[in-house]
Every structure is written in C-alpha cells, then in structure tokens.
Amino acid sequence: MKKSSLAKLLFAMMLILLLALVGCGSEDEDTQGEQNDQGQEEDTNGGDEDDAEDDGIYSIDDFSPVKTNEGEAIDGGTITFGLVSDTPFEGTLNHNFYSGNPDVQVIDWFSESLLAVDENYAYTQEGAATFEVNEEEQSITFTIRDNVNWHDGEPVTAEDWLFAHEVIGDPDYDGPRYGQTFTSIEGMEEYHAGEADTISGMEVIDEKTLKITYANFTPSLLSSGIWTYPLAKHIFEDIPVADMSSSDAVRREPIGFGPFIVESIVPGESVTYVKNEDYWRGEPTLDGLTLIVVNENVVVQSLQNGTVDLVNSFPTDQYPENADMSNVEFLGDIDNTYTYIGFKLGSWDAENNRVDMDPDAKMADVELRRAMWYAVDNATVGERFYNGLRWNATTLIPPSHPDFHDDTIEAPLYDPERANEILDAAGYEDVTGDGFREDPDGNELVINFASMSGGDTAEPLARYYIQSWEAVGLNVQLLDGRLIEFNSFYDRVGQRGEDDPAIDIYQAAWGVGSDVDPSGLYGPNAIFNFPRYESEGNDELLARGLSEEAFDHAYRQEVYSEWQEFMVEEIPVFPTVYRAILVPVNNRVVNYNIPTNAGSEIYRYQIGVTQEEPYTN
Amino acid sequence: MWKFIVRRLLIALPQILLLSVLVFLMAQMMPGDALSGLIDPNIDPAAIEAQRERLGLNDPWHIQYVDWITGVVTEGDLGRSFRYKMDVTEIIGQRLVNTFWLSLVTLIFTYLIAIPLGITSGRYNDTFRDQMITGYTYVGFATPLFIFALVALWILGFQFGWFPTGGSVSPGLTPGTFEYFLSRLHHLILPALSMALITTVNTVQYLRSEIIDTKQKDFIITARAKGASESRVYNRHILRNSLLPIAAFFGFEITGLIGGTIFVETIYSYPGMGQLFIESINLRDYSVVIAVVLLLGIASILGALLSDIILSLVDPRIRIK
C-alpha cells in the first residue's frame, strides 16, 4: 500500500513539473510567431532582449564596416553566404519584380544597379553606366559602358533600360515599383494610362546611350530618383507583362550582369553561383559562392563551425553573448532607420488627398509634446534594452546619411525637472489631486498610446515610456490595454487613410530611403505622414530641398539641417533611437564590406578567401 | 461499402463549400491585407492603392468570393499568391512534396519506435523494462518539440556534424540523380527523427494500455486454456486487437502528412506546408491561406473516411452499411 501511494505522489509531482515546462515553452513560442518579416517595414522592437545583468555596453564606433584583411587571397575558392530568415525566400529573382528583403539578398549577387552611389547615396560615375546632366533641357543622358554584358553574352543596351521602364509602367505590371521615380519622367503617366504607345521622355540614342527627359526635375533624381535596373529585352520580349514575374526567366534561370551567375536554385532555400568571367569590372576572385537560408536560432552555431562564412544580418540581441567568437570578425554599420514616437495632430482627408490638421487635437500643444520628449531617457533605453547597439536619436535624418545628419542640433535630452517646468508653465496642472495633470482647461487628460507587438522588448519598452510620462504627471494608457499586432497597428495609425481617432500617440519606426528628401514621410500630401502634420515652415523647407538651387550640395545640406532643427522645435514626432547593424564575417574572407555602407570602393567581385576551408571556433 | 463511401463523399461536398465560405470570411476579417507590409517611403502609396484596386481587394467580400469560387470550379484555378507571384497550385505543389517526404519518414520512424516499445511495455508491464519505457514517454510528453528539435540539431548537427543543419537538399545538385536522392534523405533523417522521438510517445502509451487491457480479456484466457503458445497468444490474439485504435488513428495521420509542422520546418529551415501556412497568414497572402485551409479540410474529411474503411477491414465486427 505504502509503495503505491509513494508512486502516486511521485506521479503527481511529475505532472506539476510537466505543466511548468509546457507553460514556459509555449510562451516562448508565442513571441517567436510574431516576429514575422514584413517587407521593408521595421517593427519597432525587432526581437531584442533585455539584458538584465547589464554586463556589456557596446558602441557602434568600435565596429568597422569594412573587413580587416588577414593575409593574401588565394586564387579561387568559394564562400557560403547565410541569408538569415525564418521564412524561405520568395524567389522573385529580378530587380524589376521583387518586392521584399529576402529576395533582394539573392539578387544582389548576380545583378546590380547600372549607377554606383557615394556615401550619401548620390549617383557617381563609377558604375556600369555614366551620365551627364543637362539642367536646361531637364534631361540626363546615360551611357552604358561597352563591356557590360548580360550573363548570356548579349550586351546590356539602352533598349533594355528603356524596356524596364516600359514594363514597370505597363498597366499589367504586378510589382510595387511604379511610383515617383517613374511618374517624374515626361510622358510616363500617359503611357501608364494607355494613352500613348511610347514614353515620350525616353529616347534611345544609340545602342548604349539613353536620354531621359524629366517633367519634374529635382535634386532627388540624382540620389536614387532614377530606375537603374535594365531588363533583358531579348529574353522577356515574348512574355506578356502580367506573366513575367512568374516566368522561368525570373524564377528558375534569373539573369543579370553582376559578378556571379546563378547556377542552380533550390526554391526557397539555397542558390549556387559561379563567377562571371566576363564581369565588366574584372574577373571575380572567387570561383563561386553558395547562398543558404539560415534560421535565426542557429546563426551562431553555423558561423562557429564554418557552415556559413558570413550572413546578411546578425540578430543584435545575440551579440553580447557571442562578442568573443574567435573565428569571425564583426563588422558594423549604422542602419538607415530610426524609431520614433509620433503625435496624432489631425486626420487624413481622403477627398483632397492631403492631411487635415486639427488645431484642437489633444496633442496639438507643442509644449506638451516637448515635455514628453524631455520625460523619456532614450540613452538609457539604448543601453539597458539594447546593450548600446541602439542609442539616443536626435534628428529625423539618421547618421547613415553622414553629410545630411546634423549632429550639432541640440535635441531635448532626458530631464524630468525640465519636463515638469514646461508642463507647469503651459498650464497642465493637477487640479483634481489624483496625481495626474489635467489640461489647461481643467479637463481630465488621458493620452492613448499605440505600440506594436513583436519581440521580447516590446512590452517592457512600452511600459517604460508610460512610467516615464507618469513620473511627470501625465496619464498615458496603452491603447486597448495591450500591444497591437503589426497589420492592425498600421491600419489604425492610418496607412490607408482611415486613422483611428482613439490613437493620440504611437511608437513606430521608419527606414529612410537613399534619398534624403523627407517629403514622402512628412509632406502634406503624403499618406505616410501619420502625425497628419503640416505647417508653412515645413512646406517651405521641403520645397527648398527639391528646388533648383538644391542641386548645389552645400545648399541642400543647409536646407536639411534647417529642416532637422525645425522638426526638433515643432515635434510632430520625436526620434527615440538609432540602430546598428552587425555582420559577422569569417576571418578567411578578404575585401568584404557591409553592403549598406554605400560609397566604399570595395566591390563584390573582389571578395576572396585566404584559405580553402573556413576557420572554426 | 461503396454506397457508404459515395454517400460520405456527397456529404463532404457541402461541408467543403461551407468551409470555403467560412475561411474566406475569416481571411477577410483579418486586419491588413497583402499590401500592408509594403509601407516603405520608397514605394509610392498611390502604386499600392492601384495594386489593391487591380487585385480586387477593395471589392466587398461576396464579390471576391464569387470571383474566386468560379475560378476554382471552372478552371481549377486557386488564384495567385501575392507574395510569391506565382500560382497557388504551383507553390503548394512545391511545398507539399517536401512536407510529404518529411512526414512519411517521420511516420515510419514513429511506428518503428512505437510498436516494439509499446509491445514490450504492455507485455511486461510493471517490470523494469516497462518502467524505462514509460519513463521515456513521460519525458517525451514533457519535452516541447521545438526545444527538443533545437537540442537535437545542436548535438547531432553542429557538435558531431553527422547531419546537415538546414534545408532539404545540398545546394548545387541536379534533381533526379542518385546523389540528389541521397542528399535529400540525409537532410530528412534528423528532422524526422527528432519529431518522431517526441510524437511517438502517444502511440507507445496507446499501445501499452491497449495490450494490458486486452490481455486480461476472457478470450485470451480461453486461448491460453486451449494451449496456444505464448508467442501465438501475443502475436495473433493480443496484438491484432490492440492495433485497432492505432489503425483507426492512421487515417488522421494523413492530415498530418500534408499539414506539416511549423516548429521543425522553421528550425531546420525546411520549406514545407506548415511554414507556408503561417507565413501566408502573417503576410495576409489570402489566396494561399484559403487554399491551404481547404486542402487541410479536404484531407481531414478524407482521412476520417479512410479511418473508417481501415477499421472495417481490420475489425470484422464493424460493418459499414
């Protein structure tokens, strides 16, 4: 009898243990499922982890974007590139059709832009084509170099470049690329609407020369305002536009004119490349490379045992534990994104397609917004939540654009005293004595804060901000009392123009484009202007940044410096943190440079290895 | 029996139709759509809106549904995946093959482990051997699959290097060659084994309790009294009867065969159905979501039917009318 009751007790204890284990487990899984990869969008808190011990704080200044060469490169050799993703890549392998991030990592090895860019993302004459600007005619004439050939030996021609424009401008085109870049070309909109058979602003002068005339000629054109990816006409000519993106020429035998040629593809998981001996910059050093998809959970092990030599991006939250990995060098660069807190100042006027600012909005008082900026300590957020791999942001042009980011601007820094003073002076006082301030008219002030779910830090970070504001007497509540899933977050913030009036403030992130012009995010006609903010000063500065004078670099710099300063004064949104990207590279790899580090003179064809086998840890 | 099968299939048709309406409605109710992920200052919002219009995403749901169902019925066209820019049938075809092989190998491993363990455990219940086996099943119940899969990957894949650590085949091999086949098999073993070791514990437990139950039945005593040898008693009388519930369960395994498992597929970067399903939900790739749910629905209806048929074959007491 005794024996069996002991067994029962043991059994019961086992049950309890089991429940505890399963409990912990399923919680982990929930967060993992939410870390999905959504195109270009940045979720605010991408999977970072609170490091409670706070044992190491790192700084982006300690990382170089360029690999230190350790020894001489051998002839040939192959490397393995890890594409870090928890989903297979889609396989739309052409610059003209792809829509998201995993695919472009595959494409960039075999295809490239015809024009090269400098560190500020302005076009240079170093690429496969050169150009000449004629400001009077509002036209640019491009000349493709003679030795630029497709992988099948056919020359890359002006006709191919024109063809890319014709396909993207076609009403049947199913990719997301048709936009400002195209509509600013003369005659493009008529062509798109089907009213014209040709694009009147585009003229093929000879086999290698193309002239484009613009209806809308701005300095933005010269930094990322031109579509620089030709489409091989001799291959795509016979395919109907609607079927191009699903054709074999895109999915199975993709073609480009880059340093490597696609040899074979296992859909969604790996690609092998061989070198393109005919590459226009010169024959690549490597014999070839292999690209494989690596799950975020096993990146570290794959790097340690040499399964992959390098990856496209490394989850920064795993860095502190692996900083001393001996067989790789960690390269780092400043990401072109910023996280920010936005204030809803109006709504979207769908009829006139512009923002409709409401002077009576809850957040309309700039002093209230300023106080909220002073109340939060973003430097500590960066150190405590991100080990210093994110850090306090000051302006709305991140330092990834070194010539345009103005680091002399003094943005509000954490100062709760100051925040209290500002609020007192602006008339926000606690009349009812409940510990929270009322608005100047004595009405209760409850601010609804919308924040996205995803990643382990999303919740504590949102709580931290709410507490910081509470400390200066502001009653901020999480909208609906919980974090909001990615898709509904952007729907409610207003990506389709149907803003949820319940949102007063929100936390989100922007990846800025290569062109510094912020009209697409803060212009009065931009639907992505989520704060629904406009002012004369802003309009004027944005217009000046795109004016003719702004073709002068120094002038443009000055305008955007003024704009950054202006936004620090007006605060429709305030930036919270900038972030770093880290890329570990095996020690045997030479001549490698983080691809986001624009303007370096190191190209993919120069990548080499110092020994046949990767170093292991 | 044929009458029965036909009748079941006829009942299944309206079920599937209802399922398709429900799935379609629910997909519509999800916040966001396939284009909400494209918030990017480099992409013109007008272009996105034009796409929405072109894809018919702005139409009311019943119009979208009618468009879709006519395509399915008249042309067998399940639509086009927005994300993959290819036909849903093609993308599902690609993934289904991967998942099918993975599940098949898993199933084989599962039964290879479960049947000997279950029989030993049931036949010699409450001995040391049985305790070891039940001990294993408890550990199996307690271990979450995704943790076990990660540990297995770490030890067998990374530490010992016996198995590849991701993908379904080594890059650069030509499909159809023997080498390609071997490479696929090599890639399959580790994910299949780690899944089988965890999921098999159910079957072991089933079999064990079923055997213990059966061996106390009157007909077994009768068999023993007739002088049947111990091995005959176990192999012919007990085992056959104990396998019944497992056989019944087998039909449902078919659903699992094509459903895939999100954990294992994610950890081993193995492109299969489970991953496709989850990612298309996350990215609001409706046409894929609907197609996959429908496929799973049809599979479970057919699976249930198959279970009934298997049961009637192995158990003469059950007669389907």
- The answer to whether B83 contacts A99, with C-beta atoms less than 8 Å apart, is yes
Q: pLDDT exceeding 90 applies to what percent of chain A? A: 41
Higher pLDDT, A229 or A216: A229
Inter-chain CB proximity B142 and A17 less than 8 Å: yes
- Residue B8's SS3 state is helix
Q: Which residues of chain B make contact with A305, given a CB cutoff of 8 A?
A: 158, 161
Give the whole-angstrom CA distance, residue A253 versus residue A273. Answer: 11
Q: Are B220 and B214 in contact (CB under 8 A)?
A: yes
Please enumerate, as own/partner, the contacts of A235-240 that have beta carbons within 8 Å and a separation of 24 or more.
A235/A152, A236/A163, A236/A167, A237/A163, A240/A172
The pLDDT mean for chain B works out to 82
**C-alpha–C-alpha distance, residues A79 and A612, integer Å:** 9
A211 has which bridge partners? A141, A203
Average pLDDT of the segment spanning A351-374: 90
Task: Check whether A297 has a pLDDT greater than 90.
Answer: no
Which pair of structure tokens corresponds to residue B50?
A: 């034009």
Side chain identity at residue B89, one-letter code? T
ipTM: 0.75
Which structural domains are found in chain B, ordered by start? 88-318 (1.10.3720.10)
Does an H or E element contain A346, and which?
strand A346-349
Cα separation, B33 vs B20, whole angstroms? 19
Per-residue pLDDT tens digits for A98-107:
877 788 889 9
Collect all residues with Cβ–Cβ distance below 8 Å to B14 and sequence separation of at least 6.
none
- Would you say A615 and A590 are in contact if contact means Cβ atoms under 8 Å apart? no
- Averaged pLDDT, A413-417: 92
What's the average model confidence in pLDDT over B41-53?
72
Question: How many CB atoms are located within 10 Å of the residue A75 CB?
Answer: 9
Interface test with chain A among B29, B30, B35, B42, by most A beta carbons within 10 Å? B42
- CB < 8 Å from B in window 496-515 of A: 510-514
Contact of B173 with chain A, judged by CB distance below 8 Å, is answered with: yes
B160: its two tokens: 């010992």
Residues 6+ apart with CB under 8 A from B210: B122, B241, B242, B243, B244, B245, B246
Residue-wise pLDDT tens digits, B213-230: 888 888 888 888 888 888
Q: Do B144 and A22 touch (CB under 8 A)?
A: yes
Any CB–CB contact under 8 A between B267 and chain A? yes
Which residues lie below 8 Å from residue A75, measured CB to CB, with a gap of 6+?
A285
Domains of chain A, earliest start first: 5-46+335-579 (3.10.105.10), 78-110+248-333+582-609 (3.40.190.10), 129-244 (3.90.76.10)
Query: For A435-452, what is the mean pLDDT?
Result: 90
Please state, in angstroms and rounded to a whole number, the distance separating the CA atoms of residues A281 and A128. 8
Residues of A in contact with B86 (CB under 8 A): 91, 245-246, 251
Of chain A, the end-to-end C-alpha distance in Å amounts to 56
Give buried/exposed letters for A314-342 (b at 16+ CB in 10 A, else e).
bbbbbbbebeeeebbbbbbbbbbbbbbbb
Report the pLDDT value the prediction gives residue B158, as an integer from 0 to 100.
84
> How close, in Å, is residue B290 to chain A by CA atoms?
19
Residue A33 has pLDDT above 60, yes or no: no
Q: Which helix (H) or strand (E) holds A270?
A: strand A270-275
Number of A/B CB contacts below 8 angstroms equals: 187
Predicted local confidence at residue A533, as pLDDT: 92
Closest Cα to residue A577, out of A401, A339, A403?
A: A339
Could you say which residues from 191 to 250 on chain B have a Cβ atom under 8 Å away from some Cβ of chain A?
A: none
What average pLDDT does range A123-146 have in this prediction?
Answer: 91
B52 by Cβ neighbours in 10 Å (0-12 / 13-18 / 19+) ranks as middle
User: Which of A22-31, A587-596, B123-132 bottoms out in mean pLDDT, i.e. has the lowest?
Assistant: A22-31
* Contact criterion met (CB below 8 Å) for A366 and A425: no
pLDDT at A500 over 70: yes
The sign of the torsion formed by the CA atoms of B132, B133, B135, B140 equals positive
Among A91, A99, A488, beta carbon nearest to B32: A488
Does the structure show a pLDDT above 90 at A568?
Answer: yes
pLDDT of residue A52: 40
Of A194-198, A258-262, A379-383, B298-302, the one with minimum mean pLDDT is B298-302
Any chain B CB within 8 A of the CB of A20?
no
pLDDT of residue A21: 52
**Chain centroid, CA A455 distance in Å:** 17
DSSP for A99-157, written as a single string: -SHHHHHHHTTT---SSEE-TTS-EES-SSEEEEEETTTTEEEEEE-TT-B-TTSPBP-
pLDDT mean over A376-401: 90
Facing residue for B85 by CB, picked from A39, A246, A264: A246
Per CB-CB distance under 8 Å, the chain A contacts of B272 are none
Q: In sequence order, which ranges of A494-598 are alpha helices (DSSP H)?
A: 519-522, 536-545, 553-570
Integer Cα distance of B273 and B251 in angstroms: 19
Give the amino acid at B47.
A
pLDDT score recorded for residue B318: 67
- The SS3 call for residue A260 is strand
Q: Which of residues 180-219 of A touch B (CB under 8 A)?
A: 180, 183
Q: Which residue of A has its CA nearest to B38?
A: A39
pLDDT attached to residue B42: 64
Q: Measure A490 CA to nearest chain B CA, in Å.
A: 8
Interface contact B158-A304, CB threshold 8 A: yes
Q: In whole angstroms, give the CA distance from residue A90 to residue A251.
A: 9
Q: Classify the C-alpha dihedral A231-A237-A241-A242 as positive or negative.
A: negative
Rounded to an integer, the average pLDDT of A384-405 is: 90
Measured from the Cβ of residue A528, the count of other Cβ atoms closer than 10 Å reads: 18
How far A36 CA sits from the closest chain B CA (Å)? Answer: 7
- Out of B38, B165, B267, name the one closest to residue A40 (CB): B38
Average of pLDDT values for A207-225? Answer: 87
* Among B36, B44, B84, beta carbon nearest to A91: B84
Q: If you average pLDDT over residues A310-320, what whole number do you get?
A: 88
Query: Could you say which DSSP state residue A247 is in?
Result: S
Structure tokens given for A382: 């960066």
Instruction: Tell me B228's DSSP state.
Output: -
Q: What is the pLDDT of residue A213?
A: 93
A5, pLDDT greater than 80: no
Nearest CA to CA, how far is A314 from chain B (Å)? 16
Query: Measured between alpha carbons, how far is residue A279 from residues A259, A410, B58 in Å?
Result: 5, 48, 46
Distance CA(A142)–CA(A506), nearest Å, equals 44
Give A451-499 pLDDT, tens digit per residue.
988 777 888 999 999 999 999 999 999 988 888 888 788 888 888 788 8
Cβ neighbours, 10 Å, residue B310? 16
- With a pLDDT cut of 70, the percent of chain B lying above it is 93
Question: Strand A573-586 to strand A328-343: parallel, antiparallel, or no bridges (unpaired)?
Answer: antiparallel
Residue B120's SS3 state is helix
Confidence (pLDDT) at A513: 74
Find, among A583, A102, A3, the residue nearest to A329 by Cα: A583
User: B153 — contact with chain A (CB < 8 Å)?
Assistant: yes
User: What angle do the packed helices B286-314 and B244-259 form, to 10 degrees?
Assistant: 160
> Are B44 and A293 a contacting pair at CB < 8 A?
no
User: What sign for the dihedral angle of Cα A257, A262, A266, A270?
Assistant: negative
Using the predicted structure, report yes or no on whether residue A257 has a pLDDT greater than 90. yes
pLDDT-derived band of residue A26, with 50, 70 and 90 as boundaries? very low
Write out the two tokens for A83. 């594409």
Amino acid identity of A428?
Answer: Y
pLDDT bin (cut points 50, 70, 90) of residue A42 is: very low
Q: Which residues does chain A have within 8 Å of residue B138's beta carbon, measured at their own beta carbons?
A: 14, 18
pLDDT at A418 (0 to 100): 92
Q: Which residue bears the tokens 């609907």?
A: B290
User: For residue A613, with 0-12 CB atoms within 10 Å meaning exposed, 13-18 middle and 19 or more buried, which class applies?
Assistant: exposed
Burial of A306 (0-12, 13-18, 19+ CB in 10 A): middle
Q: How confident is the model at residue B133 (pLDDT cuts 50, 70, 90)?
A: very high
Cβ-contact A446, A475 below 8 angstroms: yes
Asked if the model's pLDDT at residue A35 lies above 50, the reply is no
Q: Roughly what angle, to the nearest 10 degrees, separates helices B178-215 and B244-259? A: 150
Burial B231-251 (b: 16+ CB within 10 A, else e): eebbeebbbebbbbebebebb
Average pLDDT over residues A522-539: 89
Token pair, residue A593, equals: 């440079």
Contacts with B288 (C-beta within 8 Å, 6 or more apart), sequence order: B81, B83, B84, B88, B91, B92, B276, B277, B280
| Residue A97 neighbours by CB distance under 10 Å | 26
Residues 6 or more apart in contact with residue A381 via CB below 8 angstroms: A390, A392, A461, A464, A576, A577
**How far from each other are the two terminal CA atoms of chain B, in whole angstroms?**
6
pLDDT tier, B4 (very low <50, low <70, confident <90, very high otherwise): confident
Residue B53 pLDDT > 80, yes or no? no
Residue A36 is predicted with a pLDDT of: 35
**Those residues with Cβ within 8 angstroms of residue A589's Cβ, 6 or more apart along the chain or in another chain:** A67, A79, A309, A310, A607, A608, A609
Average pLDDT (B129-136) is 92
The shortest C-alpha distance from A393 to chain B (Å) reads: 20
Q: Is A223 in CB contact (< 8 Å) with chain B?
A: no
Helix axis angle for B273-282 and B88-123, nearest 10°, is 130
Nearest CA in chain A to B42: A513
- Return the pLDDT at A4: 57
pLDDT for B63-116, tens place per residue?
888 878 887 777 777 777 877 778 888 888 888 888 888 888 988 898 899 889
B141 contacts on A by Cβ (under 8 Å): 18
